[in-house]
Each structure stands twice: as C-alpha cells, then as structure tokens.
C-alpha cells in the first residue's frame, strides 16, 4: 500500500478502522444452524470465538466459570482486586459509586494493596474446580515474579498482556523478560500481546506464543491514543497480523499462531468484521461489562486506569442490557447489535455462505465508511473505542 504524504518530510500509510469496512454478501447463503463458531488453541476447544478481557469490571472467578460454560474463555486479571483482597465485592461496589472527581485517586489507593500469592492460587483453583478451562493474565513486568505460582496453581492458558508487548524489550535498568526463553520453558500455551503491526507480530510469533493479541489503544475504556499518541486502526492491524501469521506458517514449516483481536468491538457486526479481517477469535471487555452479572456493576475500566504515574484509561459507565447469556448468545434484548453478539456473527457467516471461522476469514470486504454519528465522532477524536483508535 503506497504511503500518503502527511507533509514535507513525513509520509504514512492509510489505515482503516472496523467502521471503515463492510462484509460483502456472496452468491451462497447457508442455514445458521449449519454454521460452527468453534475454534481451537493448542489442546483447548471453545464453542465461541470469545476471550473475555482480563479486567476487574468484567471477569471475576464466577463470571469466568459462567463464560466457560457458555462456550468462551474468561481471563482472570492476576494483578487485579481478586488477587489483592479476600473479598473485593465491597470495593467493586465502591468503585461503581465514586464520583468522577474522586475516582482516579481512590482507585490508585485501592489498587495499591500488594498482590498475594495465596489469593492467586485460591482464585485459579476456584475456576478449575468448576471444570472449565482456566486462563489468567499478568503484565510482562510481573510475569517473572508470579509465573511459577500461576503454573503451580494449575492454569491451562497463560496470558502475558500489556499496552504494547514486544519480543525485543531493551532496558539499561533491569533484566528484561526474555519471552522466547520464558515461553520455551513453560508447559502451558501462552497468549501474548498487544501488538498492532506485521513486524511486531512476526517477532512475537517467533517466541513460541500460541496466540497473539492484536490491538493497541482501541478499547472503550482506553485512552492510550490521547495520553501517548499510540494507536493503529483495528481493521488494518488485524489484517497485517493475519499476514504475519500466514508468512510465519511458511517460515516455521506449518506452525499456526492464533490471532485474537483485542478491543474496540461493541456489536456482533464489529466481531464479524474482525474475523473477516483474519482474526481467529476476539477479546472483548465493555460489551460484557454491560451484563447484569458483571462484577463492575455497570462500570468498566482498564488495566492502566489506576497506573500510579500515568493512567491511560477511564472508568466508563456501561448501561446493563441483559444477562451474560443474553449478551453472548441471546435472545437479543436490543436491536443495535449489542446483545446476542455471537448470534450476529453466526448470521453474518450464514448470509455469506461460510460454515467455519477459518472459512469466513476469506470473505470479501470492501471500503464502506459509515456516516458517523456525533457520539461516534467524539469517541474517535478521544481515541476510545469504535474499532480502531
């Protein structure tokens, strides 16, 4: 793709958000009941291509179990309240009731309590005893410190997640995490991210990761673009990383690394377009925060919302629209695509004639920028949500 001249001395690629594209119907349609949404990563199979974001307002041990029973994968944040407090329920309620002026400082105080290894073990065991696949998340900065505790507790999938994760972190102050060596020494598959470009994804794939999280700054509770200026529109980002997956498949002699689109998706249509661009599954947060069972009581905040020095997130109000089951698989309680998310994906696949996720990745898409509402325009300018900013 040719660069666009931004000004004398600087050029850049034109990139596209999910709102900028549309899926093209084909000559064939299919019965929705003949469509499979299942996907597999390593030895684990899921009936929904869903990874629930490791955020305290979205995934508790209880909702991780419920999501697992509905066919998805819930990822527990091991640096969140569930690993800091015996009973974080009153604190979650307090966070939901904080005024905007008080929220930032109080959340820093709440998250200032040290992480307890005993609680990490307890939470993982609680999910394991329910009989669902166990996934838990740490940032690269905490991975070495707590990794052995996580592994000893019986986690099935290990997620290493940060705003931007690279395979070549350089530091003159501390020994950086060597992802390639670390992953090679583990007995469990690792999902790592975020990344947003072909080259960074290819390097992460070479570390041995089983899955790559794609997305830098797209989530609705994320203000990375405003604070740091970083962000890549999601449609282009997913397609670039899918291209890296294809090339790495040849380079490695057949090793397939799963691409998981992370953030910026609110509706079933957004999820369908992410998979059409090449994702194997999606990681979502704010749509699940709208479920009545969500631990955030209708509020949603990201990993970096309570950063002690430079917060890069906002506490976002999410109107509760239905149960977790209704949000994921219906029946829909809204007509805007925000409930029965995976029913929407199933219908999109059926209407284009595809019966599996991997087949649907080949569907034709076209540039079709939608007219933005004032609300969407403001969200784009602020860099929160809307599929790619």
Q: Is residue 306 scored above 60 in pLDDT?
A: no
Residue 308's pLDDT is 59
CA distances (Å), origin 57, targets 49, 317, 355: 21, 11, 33
CA distances (Å), origin 362, targets 164, 205, 253, 352: 28, 22, 22, 11
Tokens of 173: 């102050």
Tokens of 294: 């969500």
Q: Does residue 202 sit in helix, strand or coil?
A: helix
The Cα–Cα gap between 260 and 201 comes to: 11
Residue 225's pLDDT is 64
Q: Does residue 243 sit in helix, strand or coil?
A: helix
Q: Is residue 9 scored above 50 in pLDDT?
A: yes
Mean pLDDT of 176-204: 90
Nearest to 351 by CA among 28, 134, 59, 128: 28
Q: Is residue 351 scored above 90 in pLDDT?
A: yes
Question: β-pairing, 258-262 with 135-138?
Answer: unpaired
Residues belonging to the chain: 389
Q: String of b and e for 213-232 (b: at least 16 CB within 10 Å)?
A: bbbbbbbbbbbbbbbbeebb
Mean pLDDT of 285-309: 83
Mean pLDDT of 164-190: 73
Nearest to 268 by CA among 345, 212, 197: 345
Mean pLDDT of 330-338: 93
CA distances (Å), origin 169, targets 91, 164, 172, 200, 206: 35, 10, 10, 11, 15
Local confidence band at 379 (pLDDT 50, 70, 90 cut-offs): very low
Phi, psi of 100 (to 5 degrees): -55, -35
> Which residues, listed in sequence order, are joined to residue 212 by a DSSP beta bridge?
192, 259
| Choice between 352 and 222, residue whose per-residue pLDDT is larger | 352
Domains with residue ranges and CATH for the chain: 17-379 (3.20.20.70)
Residues 85-108 have pLDDT tens digits of 999 999 999 999 999 888 888 999
Residue 104's pLDDT is 84
Across the chain, mean pLDDT equals 88
- Contact of 350 with 267, CB cutoff 8 Å: no
Local confidence band at 290 (pLDDT 50, 70, 90 cut-offs): very high
Question: β-pairing, 258-262 with 211-214?
Answer: parallel
Mean pLDDT of 157-176: 68
Mean pLDDT of 110-130: 96
Contacts of 310 (CB under 8 A, 6+ apart): 227, 304
Residue 174's pLDDT is 57
The Cα–Cα gap between 80 and 138 comes to: 10
- Contact of 217 with 163, CB cutoff 8 Å: yes
The Cα–Cα gap between 312 and 222 comes to: 6
Residue 1's pLDDT is 62
Residue 2's pLDDT is 73
The Cα–Cα gap between 264 and 219 comes to: 4
The Cα–Cα gap between 3 and 13 comes to: 5
The Cα–Cα gap between 365 and 378 comes to: 26
List helix spans (H) across the chain.
61-69, 89-97, 100-110, 117-129, 140-152, 179-184, 198-205, 224-228, 234-251, 268-276, 286-289, 324-329, 341-351, 357-360, 374-382
CA distances (Å), origin 178, targets 10, 144, 251: 34, 10, 21
Local confidence band at 357 (pLDDT 50, 70, 90 cut-offs): very high
Tokens of 271: 């999820």
Q: Is residue 311 scored above 70 in pLDDT?
A: no
Q: Is residue 23 scored above 60 in pLDDT?
A: yes
Residue 175's pLDDT is 58
The Cα–Cα gap between 51 and 123 comes to: 18
Percentage with pLDDT > 70 across the chain: 86
Give pTM, 2 decimals.
0.90
Mean pLDDT of 277-299: 96
To which residue do tokens 């029965």 refer? 340
Local confidence band at 305 (pLDDT 50, 70, 90 cut-offs): low
Local confidence band at 19 (pLDDT 50, 70, 90 cut-offs): very high
The Cα–Cα gap between 102 and 73 comes to: 33
């Amino acid at each position: 793709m040719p660069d666009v001249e931004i000004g004398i001395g600087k050029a850049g690629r034109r990139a596209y958000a999910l709102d900028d594209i549309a899926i093209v119907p084909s000559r064939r349609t299919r019965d929705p009941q003949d469509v499979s949404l299942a996907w597999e990563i390593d030895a684990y199979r899921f009936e929904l291509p869903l990874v629930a974001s490791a955020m305290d307002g979205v995934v508790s041990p209880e909702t991780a179990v419920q999501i697992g029973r509905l066919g998805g994968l819930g990822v527990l944040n091991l640096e969140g309240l569930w690993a800091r407090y015996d009973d974080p329920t009153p604190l979650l309620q307090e966070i939901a009731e904080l005024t905007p002026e008080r929220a930032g400082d109080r959340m820093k105080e709440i998250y200032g309590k040290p992480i307890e290894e005993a609680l990490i073990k307890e939470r993982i065991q609680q999910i394991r005893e329910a009989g669902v696949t166990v996934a838990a998340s740490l940032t690269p900065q905490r991975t070495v410190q707590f990794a052995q505790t996580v592994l000893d507790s019986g986690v099935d999938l290990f997620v290493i997640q940060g705003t931007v994760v690279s395979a070549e972190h350089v530091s003159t102050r501390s020994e950086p995490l060597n992802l390639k060596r670390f992953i090679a020494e583990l007995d469990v598959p690792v999902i790592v991210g975020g990344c947003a470009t072909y080259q960074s994804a290819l390097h992460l794939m070479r570390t041995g990761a089983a899955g790559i999280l794609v997305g830098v700054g797209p989530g609705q509770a994320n203000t990375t673009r405003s604070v740091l200026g970083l962000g890549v529109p999601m449609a282009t980002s997913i397609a670039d990383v899918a291209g890296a997956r294809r090339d790495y498949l040849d380079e490695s002699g057949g090793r397939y690394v799963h691409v998981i689109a992370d953030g910026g998706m609110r509706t079933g249509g957004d999820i369908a377009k992410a998979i059409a661009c090449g994702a194997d599954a999606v990681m979502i947060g704010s749509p699940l925060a709208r479920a009545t069972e969500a631990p955030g009581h209708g509020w949603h905040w990201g990993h970096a919302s309570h950063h002690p020095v430079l917060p890069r997130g906002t506490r976002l109000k999410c109107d509760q629209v239905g149960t977790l089951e209704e949000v994921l698989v219906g029946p829909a309680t809204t007509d805007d695509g925000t409930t029965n998310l995976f029913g929407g994906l199933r219908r999109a696949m059926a209407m284009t004639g595809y019966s599996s996720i991997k087949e649907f990745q080949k569907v034709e898409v076209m540039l079709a920028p939608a007219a933005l509402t004032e609300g969407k325009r403001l969200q784009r300018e602020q860099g929160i949500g809307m599929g790619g900013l």
